[in-house]
């Protein structure tokens, strides 16, 4: 072929190829340039039922994500086994950008105990945190009389009177128990594995049982969300000693925070969206962007505020959410080792 003619042919071919790439030809459903193109239904798997805290968290945002990405978004509840069934169901789906999992510390704790049939930390990628609640140490007004009046005198009393104070919590391998033990370890300056030498840890079946025990003075303190105890705080039956947060809560400005006390104990239930490893990064980035836009819409903001989540940072993207998760893997791993659940 003539060199001049070959040059014209090559230039035309290169130009045509570039135009096809820019138009997205041949890229299928995956991309237009660097952007993900949604082409069919997206499913969010929730490992819990429609009620509680997790159900409303995902069911309130899914329709708003649908508005953003312009394809149907469904919520699929796969309950059971303390959140394990939902994680397994999500793992069985292809990593194609159309199935996502809502997870909490429950999956972290299941993973650390090797209850799941796979390594959750390795198999799933955190995309976005949606809500982050706050725990606190709540005291029975009836049982605290003549013993302590605030968090500092509580700590002094416990150290001076080992096992004279009873502390209520739910399951010993749950988020509340981990947050309680971390707090007491820092507050009393003792290893987590030694907490039982200073207080009597009492397990209850549910929050209503703990509330009844606090009001009746059958248990001295409990780990619970201040918002959940607002009625009992207002009636004077429960006295909040400290909130596990970086700063004081606007809704409870008189309660000191662990942050201001120099105690890095901040564990409170969070809920976020995860993708199975292998999901195209373009899809993950697009879902993070869509979740953020949906999260900032008025309906979700109204829900977020009404549920009392606005006291802490809510939405966090991939980098910040991963940092939070990695930190809690270490904290909760240390806790489970301290109580002898894992080696």
pLDDT at 27: 34
Tokens of 342: 């894992």
Answer with the one of 225, 243, 261 that is the final residue of a domain. 243
* 336/88 Cα distance (integer angstroms): 22
Please say whether the beta carbons of 103 and 325 come within 8 A: no
List phi, psi (to 5°) of 30: -70, -45
pLDDT at 22: 37
* 22/168 Cα distance (integer angstroms): 61
Tokens of 52: 């509680």
- Same domain? 106 vs 185: no
Counting the structural domains of the chain, the total is 2
Q: Which of left, alpha, beta for 270 (phi over 0: left; psi -120 to 50: alpha)?
A: beta
* 112/11 Cα distance (integer angstroms): 58
Higher pLDDT: 123 or 225? It is: 123
- Same domain? 310 vs 239: no
- Same domain? 123 vs 149: no
Higher pLDDT: 2 or 171? It is: 171
pLDDT at 51: 84
Q: Is the pLDDT of residue 58 over 80?
A: yes
Average pLDDT, the chain: 89
User: Is 192 a member of any domain?
Assistant: yes
Other CB atoms closer than 10 Å to residue 150's CB: what's the count?
14
Looking at residues 44-59, what average pLDDT do you find? 92
Residue 305's domain spans which residues?
A: 32-133+269-338
pLDDT at 219: 96
User: Is 44 a member of any domain?
Assistant: yes
pLDDT at 323: 97
Looking at residues 25-45, what average pLDDT do you find? 67
> Residue 275 belongs to a domain with what CATH number?
3.40.190.150
pLDDT at 113: 95
pLDDT at 317: 98
User: Is 71 a member of any domain?
Assistant: yes
Q: Is the pLDDT of residue 271 over 90?
A: yes
User: Is 210 a member of any domain?
Assistant: yes
> Residue 174 belongs to a domain with what CATH number?
3.40.190.10
Model confidence at 129, in pLDDT bands (50, 70, 90)?
A: very high
Using alpha carbons, select from 328, 343, 274 the residue that is nearest to residue 114: 343
- Same domain? 107 vs 92: yes
pTM over 0.85: no
Higher pLDDT: 5 or 312? It is: 312
pLDDT at 327: 94
* 56/10 Cα distance (integer angstroms): 58
Q: Is the pLDDT of residue 17 over 50?
A: no
Q: Is the pLDDT of residue 169 over 70?
A: yes
Answer with the one of 243, 277, 305 that is the final residue of a domain. 243
User: Is 115 a member of any domain?
Assistant: yes
- Same domain? 43 vs 107: yes
**Beta-bridge partners for 65:** none
- Same domain? 180 vs 218: yes
Hunting for tokens 């990628």 — which residue is that?
125
Model confidence at 3, in pLDDT bands (50, 70, 90)?
A: very low
pLDDT at 34: 53
């Amino acid at each position: 072929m003539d060199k001049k003619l070959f040059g014209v042919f090559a230039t035309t071919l290169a130009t045509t190829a570039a135009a096809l790439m820019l138009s997205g030809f041949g890229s299928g459903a995956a991309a237009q340039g660097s952007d993900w193109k949604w082409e069919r239904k997206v499913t969010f798997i929730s490992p819990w039922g429609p009620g509680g805290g997790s159900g409303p968290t995902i069911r309130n945002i899914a329709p708003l994500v649908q508005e953003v990405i312009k394809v149907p978004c469904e919520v699929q509840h796969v309950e059971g086994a303390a959140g394990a069934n939902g994680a397994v169901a999500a793992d069985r789906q292809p990593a194609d950008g159309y199935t996502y999992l809502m997870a909490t510390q429950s999956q972290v704790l299941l993973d650390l105990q090797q209850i799941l049939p796979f390594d959750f930390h390795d198999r799933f990628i955190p995309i976005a945190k949606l809500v982050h609640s706050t725990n606190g140490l709540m005291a029975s007004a009836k049982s605290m009389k003549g013993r302590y009046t605030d968090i500092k005198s509580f700590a002094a009393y416990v150290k001076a009177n080992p096992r004279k104070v009873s502390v209520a919590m739910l399951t010993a391998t749950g988020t509340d128990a981990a947050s309680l033990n971390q707090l007491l370890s820092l507050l009393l300056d003792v290893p987590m594995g030694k907490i039982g030498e200073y207080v009597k840890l009492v397990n209850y079946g549910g929050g209503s049982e703990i509330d009844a025990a606090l009001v009746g003075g059958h248990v001295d303190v409990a780990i619970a969300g201040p918002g959940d105890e607002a009625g009992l705080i207002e009636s004077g039956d429960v006295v909040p000693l400290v909130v596990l947060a970086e700063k004081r809560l606007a809704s409870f400005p008189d309660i000191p925070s662990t942050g201001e006390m120099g105690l890095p104990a901040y564990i409170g239930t969070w809920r976020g969206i995860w993708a199975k490893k292998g999901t195209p990064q373009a899809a993950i980035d697009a879902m993070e962007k869509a979740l953020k836009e949906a999260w900032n819409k008025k309906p979700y903001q109204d829900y977020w505020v009404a549920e009392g989540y606005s006291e802490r940072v809510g939405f966090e993207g991939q980098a910040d959410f991963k940092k939070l998760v990695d930190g809690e893997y270490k904290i909760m791993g240390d806790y489970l080792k301290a109580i002898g659940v894992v080696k």
